[in-house]
């Protein structure tokens, strides 16, 4: 099973980029999902899905999988829960499949897909 590893570039002394996700819409226009790639020495493609129906409030809001060919088993690489900061800004927290804690931030200015909608980081 592949695991998410950090890219050597970091945004400050504590956080290292884990992965980036762009918003996508299915060909039929009905489903929104996320696609992107991991950072690090061996990057791989990933896909994320919003959990629109939660049977339990403890279930993650977004689940991220390794992108594979249709019909093959997908390996889950991360789980993310949305939370709100004290100043009212939404962000995501969660963990990778190797149990590393991650934090992810929404990007309000994606410039029509030029920049990712979500960037996830983990703490060393």
Regarding pTM above 0.85, the answer is no
Q: Which domain holds residue 64?
A: 15-111
Q: What is the pLDDT of residue 10?
A: 46
Q: What is the pLDDT of residue 96?
A: 92
The C-alpha angle with vertex 89 and arms to 62 and 63, in degrees rounded to 5, equals 5
Q: Is residue 99 part of a domain?
A: yes
The answer to whether 25 and 44 have CB atoms below 8 angstroms apart is no
Q: Is residue 34 part of a domain?
A: yes
Q: Is residue 21 part of a domain?
A: yes
Q: Is residue 5 part of a domain?
A: no
Q: Is residue 105 part of a domain?
A: yes
Q: Is residue 2 part of a domain?
A: no
Structural domain count of the chain? 1
**Contact residues for 23 (Cβ-Cβ < 8 A; gap 6+):** 32, 33, 34, 110, 113, 117
- Render each residue's pLDDT in the chain as its tens digit; 124 residues: 455 554 444 445 678 999 999 999 888 888 899 999 999 889 999 999 999 888 998 999 999 999 988 888 889 999 999 999 999 999 999 999 989 999 999 998 888 888 999 999 987 6
Q: Is residue 49 part of a domain?
A: yes
Q: Measured between alpha carbons, how far is 109 from 13 in angstroms, rounded to an integer?
A: 25
Q: Is residue 102 part of a domain?
A: yes
């Amino acid at each position: 099973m592949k695991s998410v590893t950090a890219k050597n570039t970091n945004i400050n002394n504590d956080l290292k980029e884990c992965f980036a996700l762009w918003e996508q819409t299915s060909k039929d226009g009905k489903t929104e999902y996320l696609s992107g790639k991991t950072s690090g020495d061996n990057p791989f493609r990933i896909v994320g899905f919003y959990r629109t129906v939660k049977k339990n409030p403890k279930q993650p809001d977004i689940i991220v999988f390794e992108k594979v060919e249709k019909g093959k088993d997908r390996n889950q690489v991360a789980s993310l829960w949305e939370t709100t900061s004290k100043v009212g800004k939404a962000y995501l927290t969660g963990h990778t499949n190797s149990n590393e804690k991650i934090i992810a931030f929404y990007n309000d200015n994606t410039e029509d897909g030029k920049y990712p909608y979500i960037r996830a980081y983990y703490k060393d």
